[in-house]
Structure 1
Amino acid sequence: MAKKNVGNIVDDLSCLICHQVSKDPVILQSCGHNFCRSCLQGQWRDTEGQDKTCPICQESLLDDKCASNIASLKLEEKVKEPEDTAAVRQMIMAPEDMSDQLTCSLCNKTFQDPVFLKTCGHNFCHICVQKRSTSADHGEIECPTCKLKSPRDGYVHNRVLASLVERVNRPVNQEERQASDQEHKCETHKERITLFCLRDGTLCCLVCRDSFQHQSHRLIPLIEASNLTQGGLFRNIQKQLGLVNDVKNANTEQEQKIAEHKAHKQQVSEHITKEFEKLCTFLVDAQREHHRRLDATYDPIQKEMERNKETLIKKQNKLEKNLEECQKKLVDNDIGILQDIVGFIQRHCETKQIEENITVIKKKPPEGLFKGPILYYTWKDMLSAVQPAASPLTLDPETAHRNLLLSEDLTSASYKPRFFRRVEDSPKRFSCLDLALTSEGFINGRHYWEIDVDGKKDWDISLMKETLNRKEANHILLLGDFWGLSYNIRIGLYLLTEKIIILGISESPRRVGVYLDYEGGQISFYDVQKKDHLCSFSETFTGKLYPYIGTSTAEDAEMKMVHIRL
């Protein structure tokens, strides 16, 4: 074998996880990467019951198979690792020390594209294996060393031997040596680069170490810096792989939410169409207007979801590109890894902003925005064809608090705290809350009614359960038994349910519409004059529900149950 430049073979014999000379080296039979057996087992320790993957290329290992790399083991026995790791990294082995391990036993020549037999672990040239298997019976090949038979495709490319053969076959000439020396010399002092400045992230020579520029800086040998950088890049690759999976999962969830959003839009669209089918053909224009409002409400949300999906895809592509660059950087030599390492990390390893912005948009308009008294608002003069029509509700005098004065027709209530009247107490009557129930309650169906609150500075409207305790003064005790919309001139509109929610609407509507879909579990409130949706409740209703009204301010204005007539 002609004399060749073997170079630093320790790099080729190092574990890709710990970056030290492999101990008990094994080769993965699916991809050909080499590791210490203990390092590989440590990587897989937390993946019990899951598919194993190669720590470098992430290729799935369906059978978890790995085998001792005999050739690597014999070569590593020749490299006696001293205490100083840097010294090991500088070791140069002569070609004759490796020739027996780099020769194919079939052709007796230096390996060409060496492959590793999975059955026995011996190594041969790829072309030799193919020739051997072509002439063998049943497409099998018999190992000339141990005589074990392997299937025709029962081998994997041995990356370690291929790298070593490449080093041995790499010729050395004066021009290459001079170019290499020039490349690795300090540009300022023209001395050989042997150190790395941790503070500045720059390559240095011995003169740089003593210069004013690097005074009090920490400089370490190139090999140690390379090991630290490789470890950091490897951890960053692992982190970016996790982020890629997070982005993929978020993208999948976003697609699901888009599909659900479209399905929900379709359901509401069908509801609108069904409602408008009850009217005559001259209402088609009104129906189209509602569809326009539907699109104007849902489409911006859907477009926002689509834009977010595109953003997630871009983030995924960026992470995959960074991952590819990091993997390329990881297999570079010491100098290549450290050159412009600070800029490289800034360009390819910064993932904090991506982590903080992996979000899935899950917006959905409230049910009551379209599923309400659509036909009533569209054609009041066709009230008889509208379902639900406005219910002509009246108040039950047996439930009214003694401070509430009801009108003779039982449609209005006003607060009269100085008006003393004898009233007979009963379980139905509110003793402490200034409320009154309607005479009619609901246990099914869809219903709609309106209350005139024009001029009132304080009022309460909604529904409550028939079983609610009407003798308690504290609203908190009632939470969960009623669903109310209230107004106070100081705080505006607010909701009373399991918690108090201020809506941020300071102006009181002149007339409030209430829509109940008992089976659908929906209560919605509307500003009748503006035809605006105010808010909605979603609940599973049980038992009988009664509408109620209430006020605790003594204005001249009354709260009135509106009776709409054709």
Structure 2
Amino acid sequence: MQSVRSPGRSLTEEQFQCSICLEVFVEPVSTPCGHSFCQACLQGYWSHSKQCVCPMCKTSFPKRPQLSVNRVLAEISAHFQSGGGAEAEPGAEPRAGAGGGAGSVGGAGSVGGDFAQAGEVACDSCIGRKMRAVKSCLTCRGSYCEAHLLPHRRVKELAKHRLTAPLPRLEESVCRKHQRLLEVYCRSDHACVCPGCAETAHRTHDLVSIEREWKRKMSHLGKRRSEVKHLIKERAKKLEEIKQSIKVIKTSAQRELEETWKVYAELQRWAEQSQAELVAQITGRQREAERQAQELARGLEEELAQLRKRSAELETLMHSDDKLLLLQTLPSLAPPPEPMDWVAVSVSTELYVGTVRSSVSALLEKSQDMLKRLYSKEFRKLQNYSSEVFLDPATAQRTLAQSADGRKVWFEERKQAQTQQGDGTRRFHPALFVLAREGLGSGRHYWEVEVGSKTAWTLGVARQSVRRKGDIRLSPENGFWCLWLKAGQVKALSAARLPLQLSELPSRVGIYLDHEAGQVSFYDVKAHAHLYTFMDAFTESLFPIFSPCLCHDGKNSGPLIISPVKHS
């Protein structure tokens, strides 16, 4: 047993022992009731107690007291721990575990600080529930709590070891060659090195401190995290849009199915009604024809009976040998009936010429009326995809004039059509065309063009890569999907010029493009009628194309006007 001698009295080691761990105080603190304990022991005791009470007298405290280390008591305790100024009393035996070794009672599990929590460095020497490490030894490659760090403070050989703040990944934080902390970052090799490596192998490299590089990386990570959060927000928004689109698709599909059932039920009803009327008409004609033929047959049978009777009378007189009787009887015979001219009488068997055709024509007229209503409904849907279209002056042929807002184009005879040096490959020459400013590479788009009473025009879409110089043949094979008006007739410019059968010429043309579906459709806006549809596969952006065509003597001088879409 150690003691500190002073005149008149002696202080023993037992007076400086913690009643929890039975070891000399380490960072001693005192409770409001006056009892002293190791700071780690008292905090550990309170951490595992439901109430904050003194371990000795059980005095209860309403809230956990603020603890401060008693410096005087700590210095005296340290004096006993280091053995300075102490001597062994005669006959005294050293107390087992007094050095705070791993085998002391409660020393390894209780003394020296709080228990290690999640994210904190734990003591490598503690058994069972580990205490929080207070130091890491670079030489031993281990982290220790206050209790297990005592040997490094008492033993001279261990006191020479390099201690540092607790490191969570000690093995990875120490240079294996120099046994020093990795405190320098080499930007040239993108590696963490110790000061020894920095002074030798990495001396000519771009070196900064770990702290500086960490701040730089954290700043970069902060920016990336902000970008990722922005992307997450955008993706979440897009995901919600897609989910909402799926709901709309389901609703639209159900609505379309109901409309389909309604339309086809109506068509079926019309077909059945038309068939029933046709059957009734054929049956009625059949009965009337049979009645007339039967009347003719009865008249003919009556006349035939009279003729046979007359033939029999004449036959009897011819075979009579009584000449007197013949001469007396012959004048009294009734005159023969006036014979009918049956040569002109006939029964027509072709009763049904055009009957089926007339019925089908009537059914088709009803179907056409329904088709017009469907086109009108389809047209209203297309207007929801209206897009802003503006003319590109850089592509316009030199004789074409345009308005300042880029929505009108017309032909001017007085303008010079000569090719200028700055035309480049974008401008059409000599063909009278102009493209829109922006290409349409995806999605659905709709725009309308006012053609008025013009006698010639060309409208449609064209690939960006179409030929723009010399003779141009408008066809899908050459990258043009267009309609034109010439000689009073609208034609679809497919591989062959296909005339469209129209009751009247359109004054306002709507153009619809579905890039993914490969569809270009044309509509008469005022009549809500479909004109023509091209179906193809588009591999590049398409540009709306316009041509007001030539004008002669003031005819066809009006402009083509890209008009705002007025929803029906």
The TM-score, its normalising length taken from structure 2, stands at: 0.35
Kindly indicate whether structure 1 or structure 2 has the higher relative contact order, using CA contacts under 8 Å at least 6 residues apart.
1
The TM-score, its normalising length taken from structure 1, stands at: 0.35
